[in-house]
Amino acid sequence: MVRPILLSSVALLAPAVVHAQYSQVKEYLGSSFFDDWNFYNNYDNLTSGNVFYVSSSTAGKDQLAYINDAGNAIMRVDNTTKVAVGGNRNSVRISTKDHFTVGSLWITDMVHVPYGCSVWPAFWSSAVDWPSGGEIDTFEGVNQVTMNQMALHTANGCTHSPNAVQTSTLVNSTDCSTAANGNQGCVVTTPTTSSYGAGFAADGGGMFVTEFASSGISIWFFNASRSSIPSVLQGNASSVDTSSLGTPTANWPSSNCTIAEFFQPQALVFDITLCGEFAGNGNVFSETCTGVCYDDWVIGSPSNYDNAYFEVQYVRVYGQSGELTVISGAPRSLGARTGLLLLVATAVGILFAL
Ligand SMILES: *[C@@H]1O[C@H](CO)[C@@H](O)[C@H](O)[C@H]1NC(C)=O
Ligand SMILES: *[C@@H]1O[C@H](CO)[C@@H](O)[C@H](O)[C@H]1NC(C)=O
Ligand SMILES: *[C@@H]1O[C@H](CO)[C@@H](O)[C@H](O)[C@H]1NC(C)=O
Ligand SMILES: *[C@@H]1O[C@H](CO)[C@@H](O)[C@H](O)[C@H]1NC(C)=O
Ligand SMILES: *[C@@H]1O[C@H](CO)[C@@H](O)[C@H](O)[C@H]1NC(C)=O
Ligand SMILES: *[C@@H]1O[C@H](CO)[C@@H](O)[C@H](O)[C@H]1NC(C)=O
């Protein structure tokens, strides 16, 4: 994706809307992309997928996570090994070492996302305590679907408001509680067929923006065409005014979900699992694929996974002026939200003059 640099439009931005102005606090980019993430190094004991999420060293050695010639981060499923019956296929799950507080925004710009039968990738965030600290799913798809789905997962009492200001009319479920509907979450689908899968790659990828604000959580999707991406996000935006992004694709206002009550600082996560509770669910699987998820795909031809990779240009995180945005390292598990600041080992206060 080649995008014109429009520095003037960045410089001319006036903070017209209070609390909508964010400045960059962290970026994951180029040869240092993987430096500040933890590799899971365990089998998928979270969603029952048929993968082993490799260590950092295995990921490097087997080129399952690396920087390609274009300078982009690749995370992928092993597509060279014939997996024995009963075994797991190697894949990648990484989460940021830092956590980001309410009052932050993150952008990921991707040119390819993993897809294919049995494949279940996501770019999302989670608190140390789950579900009490909340989960925000920015990007998720399974098998051969064509549209991205977005969701929140929380403790009881958070719902998607009928008054949400969003462009998507595809609201799949409204109760965000992990205890409701088999932990489906409150799901909104991105209503464009190039927001996932082969269509996403064919269009040159796209950009997802997630705003984690006390007034609500919003997600924007922009395809890679120049007309789609707001000028403020073209080039290397050092600040973002959400009022310049237009109406979000999905929005969960605090009126039906008090963000500060249901969400704690979030770590960002990329993962690719196979089959498991969602992609491998019989009804879901048969909607876009044939055969048996594990038998015919995971232990089938390794080339089933030639498209099971993320290619990420960057991830950038932004914070609000004067707010505590980045919590370095993993905060210890929190018994009570009020204990948060006492338990944080180190914290970085971000003060930007607008
Ligand atoms: C999953 O495995 C990791 C690493 O061994 C462990 O720390 C974690 O507690 C396990 N989680 C579950 C839900 O079993
Ligand atoms: C959500 O709704 C859309 C539109 O009806 C549908 O295409 C999609 O499959 C649904 N997603 C889920 C996870 O049910
Ligand atoms: C990309 O987004 C633009 C602006 O929203 C839209 O006009 C165009 O149809 C989209 N392209 C594709 C392939 O969806
Ligand atoms: C953005 O920043 C990166 C790293 O600092 C640099 O390599 C790249 O050329 C910049 N891109 C633009 C469009 O300025
Ligand atoms: C969600 O918002 C609607 C409209 O404001 C309101 O009628 C409803 O009671 C709210 N539901 C919850 C669970 O807060
Ligand atoms: C594995 O997939 C990559 C693309 O992710 C492709 O370039 C490569 O040729 C594939 N390897 C094999 C052995 O098919």
> Which ligand 3 atom lies nearest to the CA of residue 192?
14
Q: Domain segments of the chain: what residues?
A: 5-347
The CATH class for the domain spanning 5-347 reads mainly beta
42 close to ligand 1 (CB < 6 Angstrom): yes
> Mean pLDDT over residues 161-183, rounded?
96
What pLDDT score does 287 carry?
97
Task: Dump pLDDT digits (tens) for 215-237.
Answer: 999 999 999 876 788 888 888 88
Q: Name the residue at shortest CA distance from atom 11 of ligand 2.
A: 172
- Catalytic residue list contains 135: yes
Binding site membership of 48 for ligand 1 (Cβ less than 6 Å):
no
* 90: nearest Cα among 61, 130, 132, 128: 61
Sign, CA torsion 143/145/150/155: negative
- Check residue 5 and give its pLDDT: 32
- Helix, strand or coil, per DSSP, at residue 305: helix
Nearest 5°: the CA angle 200, 201, 206 is 55
Conformational region of residue 216, where left means phi above 0, alpha means psi within -120 to 50, and beta covers everything else: left
| Ligand 5 contact, 258 CB (< 6 A) | no
Q: Which ligand is nearest to the CA of 168?
A: 2
Position 67 confidence tier, pLDDT thresholds 50, 70, 90 = very high
**Catalytic site residue 140?**
yes
Q: How far apart are CA 105 and CA 83, in angstroms?
A: 39
Q: Compute the distance between CA of residue 248 and CA of residue 64 in angstroms, rounded to an integer.
A: 33
The residue among 95, 126, 103, 133 whose CA lies nearest residue 340 is: 133
pLDDT of residue 344: 31
Residues 14-31 pLDDT 10s: 322 334 899 999 999 999
Q: Is the CB of 256 under 6 A from ligand 5?
A: yes
98 near 28, Cβ under 8 Å? no
